[in-house]
Amino acid sequence: MKYKNFGIVITCLKYSDNLKKVLFSISEQSIKPKQVVVCYSEYHKFFSNNKLIKYVKSKYKNQVYQRKVAVNNIDKKIDILIQLDDKIQLQKNCLYNLLNEWNCSEKKVVGIGLNCINFDKPSKGFLHKLLLINSNTYGEVLRSGYPVGWGNISKNYRSQWLNGGMVSWKYKSIKQKIKNRKF
């Protein structure tokens, strides 16, 4: 299957400079998403003449609940759903490269994480080893349950988990899981 339609959901408390930068980074993409849904929890008047962006209010300040609200407002024709935190800015060709990655991926792949270029994983020290709170392997879930992040990496990795604030999913594969998820 060839994927072509991206939908993006962004959770936030309110309109902020960070959210403004995220939306600008989306508008600067070489290919555009079909729809962007911003779910906020604190009252704010949104002024936008961009028909691709839909603002919806959440009654709870909770990312999981807000993603659920946003997904309930996403277009049904979306192939790939991208979840972003309100601090994740996309490089100019991010969506183009992500679409290529999806179209070259194995059929069994359900999610692909994004690379946060302004993240540097802390070095692994004695205390990290003792408490099992860091690893040299990106995307690993340690025996302690601690998920090791990734970012500023130069090649693709297979991961045991995906960061909910910078991830893409096959929409049809996960929409019911998001809609039914408890918060």
Specify whether the CB–CB gap between 14 and 91 falls below 8 A.
Answer: no
Q: 1: Cβ–Cβ under 8 A, 6 or more apart, which residues?
A: 79
CA dist 173 → 81, 110, 148, 182 (Å): 10, 7, 25, 18
Backbone angles phi, psi at 21, to 5 degrees: -65, -40
* Model pLDDT, residue 158: 77
Per-residue pLDDT tens digits for 16-56: 889 999 999 999 999 999 999 999 988 776 666 778 899 99
pLDDT in tens, the chain (183 residues): 688 899 999 999 888 889 999 999 999 999 999 999 999 988 776 666 778 899 999 999 999 899 999 999 999 899 999 999 998 889 889 999 999 999 999 999 999 998 876 656 666 777 777 777 777 777 778 888 877 777 777 777 777 778 888 999 999 888 777 777 766
For CA atoms 159, 77, 26, 45, the dihedral sign is negative
* Model pLDDT, residue 14: 86
Distance CA 110, CA 39 (A): 24
* Model pLDDT, residue 128: 72
Please compute, for residue 92, the number of CA atoms within 13 A of its CA located in the half-sphere on the CB side: 1
